């Protein structure tokens, strides 16, 4: 592969201003919260059910874990929509330095 002098082999990355919910943040947060909160709930609930085979354990985890995942995803999406969480962009005051501790200096 030959590269012309003065040209870079790396393509420039384009940035896009997106308004609204950052769905990447929603997916990542849903994943983490479901693991941290959902797994202990499934483990606790499994104490009250007789699960004699690995297939029964897997089926139980899916039956109980799916609604937990769904409710977590809905809650995180609603939270992100209401609070603009995870938007990854500075607030309007940050551009002018109004929110700096040093007064934008």
Q: Do 51 and 45 meet the contact criterion of CB atoms below 8 Å apart?
A: no
Cα separation of 100 and 105, whole Å?
8
Percent of the chain with pLDDT over 70: 70
Rounded to 5°, the CA angle 99-76-66 comes to 160
Alpha helices in the chain (DSSP H): 23-33, 39-46, 54-83, 92-96
User: pLDDT tens across 61-103, in order?
Assistant: 999 999 999 999 999 999 999 887 766 655 555 554 455 555 5
- Judge if pTM exceeds 0.85: no
Q: Which residue is it, tokens 């999406």?
A: 77
């Amino acid at each position: 592969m030959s590269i012309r002098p003065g040209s870079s082999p790396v393509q420039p990355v384009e940035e896009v201003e997106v308004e609204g919910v950052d769905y990447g943040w929603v997916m990542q947060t849903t994943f983490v919260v479901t693991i941290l909160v959902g797994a202990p709930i499934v483990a606790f609930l499994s104490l009250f059910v007789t699960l004699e085979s690995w297939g029964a354990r897997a089926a139980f985890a899916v039956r109980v874990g799916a609604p937990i995942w769904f409710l977590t995803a809905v809650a995180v999406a609603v939270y992100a929509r209401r609070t603009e969480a995870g938007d990854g962009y500075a607030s309007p005051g940050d551009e002018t330095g109004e929110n700096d501790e040093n007064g934008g200096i």
